[in-house]
Structure 1
């Protein structure tokens, strides 16, 4: 079985879209929110990559991007991703990929996510299996570089005319929303290289790495975190309809591989427990845990009721040996992607991404129940908690 990154069929050529999106604001103004989030800094994999893979390893070919952009745009979908819809909810432009050097605008945030990335540091075996070396730790390093070089630039700017219109203001690093959506590729690697029980035993070290990065971001001034858990990996058509003889035979009522979903649930359980501990430790922050698993599983379980076809079907491509961009059908994709949950067997269609984004943005699947426009900590309470943290550190 090929790893997820091996069949990433993202929308290519972030350049053409980023040249437009730098000045584009779409969506509604966050009415009713007492604090406007001015920027998003995103860390993740192909579920939220808006052009990093294309910039680093070459463009993804059509028909990706066909629904919304009309051409490839660096995304693993026919259109927009969940992170795009979150940006719209906040009244912000779509995020430019940090690795894309042409046409990018980081004035209101940056995207460090890259397809095939893992939380754990990539080793030789993972690299040989085509997983991306740009793991979460590397993405953190990229963020540190952006922040340091932005501060250096503004220090050198002598007057207002020298202010940069493509970099965040200094205070926007602390007032921004830090979104994190990773773990799917870590589980993929485990499930294709060891038993399910061994995979469960390996999760704790991945969660430790995730927590270390979040703590480091807090040390760098981040205060608002929006943490996605991992989705039901056993429901991805790539796994659920795979003919691998080593795949577990037990499936649930939706046809999902139950053993794989059980590993995902264990990952989410440990992630949630760590988030609770981090809240106690970092009381000046607001850490929102978002149950992507339940949202996606709800969509899959009730696909017909929500207007989608076979939840284990997919729009683009015909098999593992004939991926999306090599499909011999006209335009290489189905006639109506919006009828499908899965775009290519691994990634969701724009219609499914919108469905999930609408529900998580309204706080229906978050802990605590929080709308994304209210994800920043109360400014007054934040000051009290930061004083307490300093006092505790001195004891």
Structure 2
């Protein structure tokens, strides 16, 4: 009987172990904290900001998290991601993932970002919460009085979404001919979403510009990682141009700088260019257009294993010198460099 009971309890014990590991990984962030700080951070978007919502994804498997916190806890990187650095700028600890809301403190805000999702529904996570659903979740918490009007007014929202939307569009249409009209549709919905966040009571909304899609290792593989793919970078440029125009109009409508843009596009390009120049001077340095973690299958998935559990990926010797961790996501080193370049824009998030 005792043996049967132990067997029955094993799955539950395993689940509790996983949750405790994940919660521990969300407690620790980066930087100096101010316990008296009333600012909260509410995060919406995709894997660039997700810190643990996509349970069961590669981000919960080795070798993700090897730099921070030393084990996989749901970040799509070897360590910290954009959310962690924005939280550190606000002098708060990284907000808990929404998936762990029942076992975490919510005093620093909450993270709704979910890897693979977008402004619309995407191919990667067909049932995953797109941005509209993520905002619905915040609205429900407000209705339950988890957060007060005062909490929201002194807080900041981070929005990073669209990359997965473009991938879904290209896969579905097998072409980028009609992508300009799709960009207009996408920005219109994104505009509706960020206005809705503001209307819920959040007075500072940071919106990430789209990264240079043509520089992602999964894309620039066609150039043998020698250069970015200009045609896809043009997609990012057009997206960002329209987004900047939209943000300007939205701020004019409300009469104050509620919406702030974070220029991931030029930050990525600037860092890649700098690292390429250093590599020209020292050929032993890592190519910034290459991923640190590379799978050996057709999908090139970092963290993939075979039927016997043997790993089908390799990790570069020094992740701390890489810019990209895998085929899409920056490494902790990459995000830290991006954060450094974004600090002048982040200053606009201070309430006043």
Fold shared by both chains (TM-score > 0.5) = yes
- The 3 A distance-change label for structure 1 pair 18 and 285 is farther
The answer to whether 1:137 aligns with 2:132 is: yes
Q: Counterparts of 2:257 and 2:191 in 1: how far apart (Å)? A: 14
Pairing of 1:384-395 with structure 2 (within 5 A): none
| CA apart distance, 1:16 | 1.4
The number of aligned residues is 323
**Alpha-carbon separation, structure 2, partners of 1:252 and 1:331:** 18
Match of 1:148 among 143, 148, 152: 143
342-351 or 282-291: bigger deviation: 282-291
3-state secondary structure, aligned to 1:42: strand
Among 175, 178, 185, the alignment partner of 1:198 is 178
- Once the 2 structures are TM-superposed, how far is the Cα of residue 190 of structure 1 from its aligned partner? 2.0
Q: In 2, are the aligned partners of 1:64 and 1:78 still within 8 Å (CA)?
A: yes
Tell whether the 8 Å contact from 2:50 to 2:97 is kept in structure 1 after alignment. Answer: yes
Which residue pairs with 2:162 in the alignment?
183
Report the alpha carbon displacement of residue 344 of structure 1 after superposing the two structures with TM.
1.2
The farther-off stretch of 86-95 and 304-313 is 304-313
- Counterparts in 2 of 1:306 and 1:173: CA distance versus 1, 3 Å: farther
Pair 1:340–1:374, CA change in 2 (3 A): same
**Could you tell me how far apart the structure 2 residues matched to 1:306 and 1:212 are?**
42
1:232–1:315 distance in 2 versus 1, CA, 3 Å: same
Q: 2-side partners of 1:102 and 1:334: how far apart? A: 37
Q: 1:391 maps to which residue?
A: none
Shift of 1:359: 1.5
Higher relative contact order (CA 8 A, sep 6+): 1
1:27-76 Cα shifts (integer Å, max 9, x gaps):
2368xxxx966110011100010011117x69721110001211001000
* Aligned residues of 1:254 and 1:300 also touching (Cα < 8 A): no
* Offset, 1:333: 2.1
- Per-residue CA deviation, residues 211-236 of structure 1 (Å, 9 max, x unaligned), is 11111122211111111111001111
Distance 1:237 1:70, change over 3 A: same
Cα deviation per residue 1:255-313 (whole Å; 9 max; x = unaligned)? 11111111111111111110011001122452111111000011112214567621221
Gap change, CA 1:238 and 1:37, over 3 Å in 2: farther
Q: Distance in 2 between matches of 1:169 and 1:130?
A: 32
Measure the CA separation in 2 of the matches of 1:139 and 1:181: 12
**Mapping for residues 33-182 of structure 1, pairs under 5 Å:** 38-54=39-55, 60-101=60-101, 103-120=103-120, 122=121, 126-127=122-123, 130-131=125-126, 133-149=128-144, 151=145, 168=147, 170-182=149-161
Deviation at 1:79, TM superposition (A): 0.3
Q: Greater CA deviation, 100-109 or 264-273?
A: 100-109
Contact 1:236 1:345 in 2 (8 A): yes
Structure 1: runs of 5 or more not aligned: 1-12, 152-166, 243-250, 364-369, 379-395
Matched, 1:258 2:230: yes
Using the TM superposition, give the Cα deviation of residue 254 of structure 1 relative to its aligned residue in structure 2, in angstroms: 5.4
2:60 is paired with a residue whose SS is coil
Please report how far the alpha carbon of residue 77 of structure 1 lies from its aligned counterpart in structure 2 after TM superposition. Answer: 0.3
TM-score normalised to structure 1 length: 0.75
Partner of 1:225: 205
